[in-house]
Amino acid sequence: MPEDSPNFLRQAVPTQPKAAITGAYPTLRLRRNRTHDWSRRLVAETHLSVDDLIWPVFVRDESCPDAEIAAMPGVRRFTLSELSDAVGHAAELGIPAIALFPYVEDAKKTPECHEAVNGDNLVCRAVRQIKAEVPGVGVICDVALDPYNALGHDGLVRGGRVLNDESIDLLCRQAQVQADAGCDVVAPSDMMDGRIGRIRACLDVAGHQDVAICAYAAKYASAFYGPFRQAIGSGAALKGDKKTYQMDPANSDEALREVALDLDEGADLVMVKPGMPYLDIIRRVKENFSVPTLAYQVSGEYSMIQAAAQNGWIAGEAAMMESLLAFKRAGADGVFTYFAPTAAEKLRAG
């Protein structure tokens, strides 16, 4: 902007910090620091560590014979008898936390979502087992009705509408049975208005002051969740889309309002979801609030990398590591990723 430009014009342009220009070619050559492996390592601005990884884990019972998920090559649904070994391995690799997602048989899906609040449902049994057998790993439970809902939505549906406040009553009870089972973190992914505050209050009344809340704060109505819905068997039930409660991908300011509300209501961690198409949102959230901010590299992002790798179109491992590092560079403190064990092994190997 020239010095003599009119004041109003100068003020209209936001003042961005400029990258420091410290010299000029040919004395200054930025390639010099890129010459060696040691020098590249020395000047790296961002680092990915196993401490940044959260592993989403699918669980099934006898009602689901299939371990394999066609749309997510390399991801399995674990039975409870397989679960402790898998989670134990993740813990040995240093992965701090897992997030549990159940495959629920159709017979247990109802319009009233009864199974969501059953203290002996698959997720609660999984939590009790992991806490007994792999106590050191953090356990995160998803709070939303979709796995249990005959209509596939995250909230209660009546007359074709997803009800807000009535859904929260159920979500509070769902969070409470998960906390009773011993989970460390409840993660409401439902996007109802006001649920964080009410879940916090319910947990506190029930004596669960130490159970944290990870709010899926900026969760977008995304096409990238497709493979997940196959993995938990909710895709067939879902009629229509989730646009009346999940966010419009066009919006960014609104994400900051969602995050502000969830923090006000007591969220300990906030999340942006999906991940890679929303790195700009992660950056804005981190810069505006300076709170623990997580990203979710969702099923569709995972499957795209895997599919391209399987076709020989990209180098899968390198793309995996690059995608995870990108979340750190954008400002995320941690990443939910189906790659967690593979990435952890790669990080360990160096």
Which spans of this chain sit near ligand PBG (rule: CB under 6 A)? 142, 144, 146, 154, 189, 225, 228-229, 242, 298-299
**CB environment 297-313: b (16+ within 10 A), e (fewer):** bbbbbbbbbbbebeeee
Q: Which is nearer to ligand PBG, 92 or 193 (CB)?
A: 193
d(CA 75, CA 71): 9
d(CA 50, CA 55): 11
Closest distance of CB 78 from ligand PBG, Å:
16
Of the residues 108, 109, 273, 328, which is catalytic?
273
Chain centroid, CA 329 distance in Å: 17
Closest distance of CB 243 from ligand PBG, Å:
11
Of the residues 219, 242, 286, 328, which is catalytic?
219
Closest distance of CB 207 from ligand PBG, Å:
26
Closest distance of CB 147 from ligand PBG, Å:
8
Q: Which is nearer to ligand PBG, 12 or 105 (CB)?
A: 105
Q: Which is nearer to ligand PBG, 106 or 133 (CB)?
A: 106
Name the residue number minimizing CB distance to ligand PBG.
228
Closest distance of CB 126 from ligand PBG, Å:
16
Retrieve residue 30's tokens: 């930025």
- Region for 159 from its dihedrals, namely left if φ exceeds 0, alpha if ψ lies in -120 to 50, beta otherwise: left
d(CA 121, CA 350): 40
Query: Angle at which helices 122-133 and 80-93 pack, to 10 degrees?
Result: 50
Can 273 be counted among the known catalytic residues? yes
Retrieve residue 212's tokens: 């944290």
Q: Which is nearer to ligand PBG, 6 or 246 (CB)?
A: 246
Closest distance of CB 274 from ligand PBG, Å:
7
Q: Which is nearer to ligand PBG, 24 or 250 (CB)?
A: 250
CA angle (18 as vertex; 17, 21 as ends), nearest 5: 145
Q: Which is nearer to ligand PBG, 228 or 339 (CB)?
A: 228
Residues serving a catalytic function are 219, 273
